[in-house]
Amino acid sequence: MSSEHVSTYPQTPHGGVLVDQTIAAADRAAYTERARGLATIRVDLEAIITIEMIATGVLSPNKGFMNEADYLSVLENGRLANGVVWPVPLSFAPIGKTNATIIEGLTEGDEICLSDEQGEPVAILAIEDIFAYDREHRAQQLFGTTDRNHPGVDSIYRRMGETALGGTLTLINRVDWGPFERLRQEPKDTWKLFYEEKGFNSVAGFITGANPLHRGHEYIHRNALEEVDGIFLQPLVEMAKREYVRHEYRIRGYQNVMEQYYPMDRSILSPLRVTYIFAGPREAILHALIMKNYGCTHALIGRDHAGIGDYYDKYAAHSVFDEYTKEELGIDIRLFHEVFYDARAATHATDRTSGTDDVRYRLNISGTGIRELLRYGFMPPKEIVRPESALAAFQGIQPKGVDAEGVAVNPPGKVIKSMFPYYLEYTRLGGPKRAEPLKPEDLTVDDLALVMRDVREHTGLIYEDVYDEYRGVLDHNRGLAPLWREEARDQFRAKQEKLIGELEAKLAQAVDKASDEFMYQDREEVERELTAAKALLAEMPGNLTPESLEGRTWNTMPYQRYRGADEE
């Protein structure tokens, strides 16, 4: 991407220059041969992904692994040593005795080869700094905890040695992305695509984790498309745990939905190969900067972005942006709250757009819950996941099904509490309150089946019934009225009127006091029966009469006058 082009774009890479530390195809053989003559450290797939991201500009302005000054500044201040915003350290600290021996023989200015597990050179690292670091300090500053149960903390102790190597990377050979290679986009590709080929003036980026595309995502995308020229969707691939939905199926789900429901000329899908850090709010900043480096002018951030368990507040990924100015971030951050489906309003909403917090009508959208529904064998409600997405997700979910006790990764009660909370306190969607709330730990798969049946049968009917009540009274053109319903109402009233006539006749013959109160009725009891019957008649819905409809006609002049005809 040439500098003259960049100056005309509505966005600039973070730090001002899009990094490109890749070798041209013509030079690859020579660099590969050179790398084979260097001291070599083998790296795993996770490290290779990071190397590729750095070298292709995804993590601009970084050109390699951080030196000690940048490393400490990032941990303590969320910025590089020169003050540029950067939230997470990019470190290379090989683990193992063999690597430790190699590192002992290195000095600043040396070069080493980084190879894959087959021994093939991937990159050359020009060493500019060698330093020791404190694992506990890294964990506390980056994750806010030193708890080994946190996967990011655990990774520090499992995957990182005691000495870090800082320096510039040169990428020699890219790793093939397998099923995603044809969808692969690097920053140099997207800047050209957005601003030269499509002529966009604005693009909103959206990075999401290992869940199928659901209606909460779609709500965010559609809101953004009302404002920006295009959206760039980047589902993370490769590094998700096996309990999620396999990546190729998840991407196919995205494609299924986008092809059917999205404006394809303004919607771009490209998997993002990135390592999970589980750094919560810091990772939200990182993702925003990644979107910026891909050329996006806007970053769409949802609730609990990059969160893990209960380690971070659900909206920590929102509040963290208050620590930086819009100018220094260089990308417009758009924050979205938790999306749910409001059956009473028949719409997707958030707490900021909904007029009620009535749990009776609410279906929550939970990525974890969606995965559990799939494992229990239930097609998620269409208000939560479109069937086109579920088609792929059902086939890609891991692990399949349930265990010997009929329970998936999460028990049924936990799924119900997270997605269908109304069931704990109300007998059905929009129904009456239970005498005693249900406890999630007592719920079974049978309860989950009842919830699913209730949601499928009634979610769409709630607003339809509300509409029908208004329609029944307001339709002036009775050609739209269901005649069978009006006939039933007339018959309903006629039969009740006959009953009232019979009760009135009985009242006329009733005695003041019956001789046998078990067999005969006195006048007072018949009067109570008649009063109840008349009250029921008064409560029966009636049909609109021609007279009542005529009273609604309010235009005072003939329509010829309204159409502009002169008065005759």
pLDDT score recorded for residue 567: 57
pLDDT, average across residues 73-99: 95
pLDDT > 90: percent of the chain: 71
Residue 308: per-residue pLDDT? 66
Mean pLDDT of the residues in the chain: 91
Structure tokens at 172: 């020699």
3-state SS, one letter per residue, for 292-316 = HHCCCCEEEECCCCCCCCCCCCCCH
Residue 332's pLDDT is what? 97
- Each residue of 324-345: pLDDT tens digit? 999 999 999 999 999 999 999 9
pLDDT (0 to 100) of residue 3: 47
The CA-atom distances, in angstroms, between 77 and each of 54, 69, 125, 323, 552 are 21, 11, 26, 10, 69
Residue 43: phi and psi, rounded to 5, are: -125, 150
* Listed range (385-389, 499-503, 552-556) with the worst mean pLDDT: 552-556
DSSP code per residue over 166-201: EEEEEE--PPP-GGGGGG---HHHHHHIIIIIS--S
Of the candidates 5, 83, 98, 19, the residue with the CA atom closest to the CA atom of residue 51: 19
Q: What is the mean pLDDT of residues 180-189?
A: 92
Amino acid at 225: L
Helix (H, G, I), strand (E, B) or coil at 378: coil
Per-position b or e across 268-298, b if 16+ CB within 10 A of its CB:
bbbbbbbbbbbbbbbbbbbbbbbbbbbbbbb
Cα angle value 188/290/336 (rounded, 5°)? 130
- 37: exposed, middle or buried (Cβ count in 10 Å: 0-12, 13-18, 19+): exposed
**Among 89-98, 150-159, 432-441, whose mean pLDDT is lowest?**
150-159
E-strand stretches of 298-384: 298-301, 332-335, 340-342, 347-349, 362-364
Strand partners for 513: none
Of residues 543 and 317, more confidence is placed in 543
pLDDT at residue 422, as a whole number: 97
Say whether 522 sits in a helix, a strand or coil: strand
3 state SS of 442? helix
pLDDT of residue 566: 65
| Three-class SS state of 435 | coil
Please give the distance of CA 41 from its chain centroid, rounded to a whole number: 39
pTM: 0.88
CA dihedral over 25, 26, 28, 31, signed as positive or negative: negative
Query: Cα(61)–Cα(329) distance, rounded to whole angstroms?
Result: 13
Does residue 473 have a pLDDT over 90? no
Cβ neighbours around 233 below 10 Å, total: 22
Residue 433 DSSP one-character state? B
Q: What is the reported pLDDT for 239?
A: 60
The pLDDT tens digits for 236-250 are 887 656 778 999 999
> Mean pLDDT across the stretch 110-122?
95
227, pLDDT greater than 50: yes
pLDDT per residue as tens digits for the range 27-76: 999 999 999 999 999 998 889 999 999 999 999 999 999 999 999 999 99
DSSP 227-286: TSSEEEEEEEES-S-TTSB-HHHHHHHHHHHHHHHS-TTSEEE--EE------THHHHHH
Name the residue among 175, 253, 177, 172 with its Cα closest to residue 208: 253
Q: Which pLDDT value is given to residue 7? A: 65
pLDDT band at 559 (very low <50, low <70, confident <90, very high): confident
pLDDT above 90 for 229: yes
What digits encode the pLDDT tens for the residues 3-19? 455 668 999 999 999 99
Contact 255, 246 (CB under 8 A): no
pLDDT attached to residue 155: 86
Flag whether pLDDT at 568 surpasses 60: no
Q: What is the pLDDT of residue 390?
A: 97
pLDDT digits (tens, 9 = 90+) for 342-358: 999 999 999 999 988 89
Cα–Cα distances (Å) from 66 to 74, 147, 169, 493, in that order, read 10, 25, 11, 83
123, burial (CB in 10 Å: exposed 0-12, middle 13-18, buried 19+): buried
* pLDDT per position as a tens digit, 384-414: 999 999 999 999 999 999 999 899 999 999 9
Q: Say how far apart CA 42 and CA 40 lie, in whole Å.
A: 6
Residue 164 in contact with residue 93, Cβ under 8 Å? yes
Per-residue pLDDT of 253-309, as tens digits, reads: 999 999 999 999 999 999 998 876 777 788 899 999 999 999 999 999 987 665 566
- Are 232 and 190 within 8 A, CB to CB? yes
